[in-house]
C-alpha cells in the first residue's frame, strides 16, 4: 500500500531507496508538501501540515 501511495502521489521516480524509505516518520508530510509544490509551483511550509513531535 505504501508503494502504491508513493507512486500515485509523487511518481515512479520516487520508488528508489534514495527517495523512499518505509517507516520514515515524516514521509506523509514530505509527500503532501511535494504534492502542493507540484500543483501550485510553491513549496508549502510545515505550518500547513501536522508535524511529528
> What pLDDT, on a 0 to 100 scale, did the predictor assign at position 51?
60
For the chain, the domain total comes to 1
Q: In terms of residue numbers, what domain contains 17?
A: 3-40
Domain assignment present for residue 20? The answer is yes
pLDDT along the chain (53 residues), means of 10: 85 84 70 86 75 56
Record the cell numbers describing residue 28, joined without a space.
506523509
- pTM above threshold 0.85: no
Query: Can you tell me the distance from the alpha carbon of 28 to that of 49, in angstroms, rounded to the nearest whole number?
Result: 9
CA 36/CA 45 separation, integer angstroms: 10
Specify if 51 maps to a domain. Answer: no
Amino acid at each position: 500500500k505504501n508503494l502504491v501511495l508513493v507512486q500515485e502521489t509523487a511518481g515512479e521516480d520516487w520508488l528508489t531507496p534514495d527517495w523512499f524509505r518505509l517507516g520514515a516518520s515524516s514521509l506523509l508530510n514530505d509527500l503532501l508538501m511535494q504534492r502542493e509544490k507540484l500543483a501550485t509551483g510553491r513549496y508549502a511550509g510545515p505550518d500547513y501540515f501536522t508535524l511529528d513531535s
